[in-house]
Amino acid sequence: MYQNLLERFIRYAKVNTRSDATSKTVPTTQSQVDFALKLVEELKQIGLSDVTYTDANGFVTATLPANTDKEIPTIGFIAHIDTADFNAENIQPLVHENYDGQDVVLNEELDITMAVSEFPNLKNYVGETLITTDGTTLLGSDDKSGMAEIISAMEYLLAHPEMKHGTVRVAFGPDEEIGTGADLFDVEHFAADFAYTLDSGTVGRMEYETFNAAQAELTIQGSSVHPGTAYNRMVNALSVAAQFHNLLPEEEVPEKTKDYEGFYMLGQQKGNIDKVEMTYIIRDHDTEKFQSRKQHFQDLINQMNAQFDYPRISYKMYDQYYNMGDIIKKDMTPVHLAEDAMKALGIEPIVEPFRGGTDGSKITYKGLPTPNIFVGGENFHGKFEFVTLEAMEKATSTILKIVELGAEENTRAKNL
């Protein structure tokens, strides 16, 4: 349906663009820079205008100029270059044409199979062109699919000038997977009225509500002495850590919550009797409940410290992102437009609160409303990741329909 979509996706997927949370550079890896610079040349070659790579934030941006004099809002489409914290070296996508619905052998030599019994969602793709890993890396459909879909849609619009549209802006940025890429996104430079990130999963999915998110980093200072002389002297930091964790609500963890329910999650812990370091994330969709969760967390730390001669638990807490739904609900135009586009294509919109965050969370709070829509992939961030060509075609068609309806609906509104 889109001549270069499959080739483009596979070409992108083969490049290791994994981000690095320990790096202090922007982007965090040189491979992302190298990829972005090659992308600049590709965008110029297909005919986009104002193609720019910005050193300060690592974003590639470009413009598809309007081909009509009508006043039409500028729509943006955004995807991220980096891939997640999983092996991304020597990615070898496998293409299974006319998938038969059976177990998929990813790597015969290493005896790695994607079994339908474990992944029954494979049955949804019988007859389609299935693209998988070779069982040793991730695939990178998150978000190389989104990139390929956006660029293929722009390529289609350039080849079909009879389809009238307003100005379209596109952006491809770094470090989404480690939560820092959108921090430096330049909304003023992007100059769109609203935008979409292409970073959700299965066909039809769209999110405009995300968590409010915070992270807390705790340091517990113990006193390590020989167990033979420990009476009234030892303070076991490991035990203090366990006591603190057990004070948190047992049922309010990711594995026991869903929908709009918030949680606390211990994500990392390391240490010994003398010192323990712990990292928690705190999440809630509701702003007031989010603030209450943070306060409760701090109250528990104070409660624990009160039992010692001096505070043994120190911490840093900072907000990471906020629920973009609180802003987007004030003007649901981009949400309704995407829903209408999907319905026009025979795709049933699946609009649910997102139990996480996207680049759109931060970009929305920078002043650009940015819901998140599907790219078509499944099982992100691991060796069983897959996507089908047909799902990517539907995502590409959705982009085009959003652009088309955006022009038509604006025209109708002005004529009323």
Catalytic residue ranges: 82, 176
- What is the distance between the alpha carbons of residues 337 and 343, in angstroms, rounded to a whole number? 10
- In sequence order, which residues have a C-beta less than 8 Å from that of residue 104 and are 6 or more positions away? 96, 113, 114, 122, 130, 132
- In sequence order, which residues have a C-beta less than 8 Å from that of residue 336 and are 6 or more positions away? none
DSSP 114-130: E-TTT-GGGGGGTTS-E
For residues 388 and 125, is the Cβ–Cβ distance under 8 A? yes
Give the 3-state secondary structure of residue 416: coil
For residues 356 and 182, is the Cβ–Cβ distance under 8 A? no
Token look-up 């100059």 returns: 191
For residues 249 and 264, is the Cβ–Cβ distance under 8 A? yes
For residues 327 and 144, is the Cβ–Cβ distance under 8 A? no
Beta bridge partners of 131: 95, 387
123 burial type by CB count under 10 A (0-12 exposed, 13-18 middle, 19+ buried): exposed
For 5-37, give one letter per residue: b (16+ CB within 10 A) or e.
Answer: bbebbbebbebbbbbbeeeeebbbbebbbebbe
C-alpha angle 11-16-19 in degrees, rounded to nearest 5? 135
> How far apart, in Å, are the Cα atoms of 23 and each of 88, 151, 155, 180, 393?
17, 29, 35, 11, 35
DSSP strands (E only) in 65-211: 75-80, 94-96, 104-107, 112-114, 130-132, 168-173, 194-200, 205-207
Element (H, E) at 217: strand 212-221
For residues 114 and 104, is the Cβ–Cβ distance under 8 A? yes
- In sequence order, which residues have a C-beta less than 8 Å from that of residue 333 and are 6 or more positions away? 194
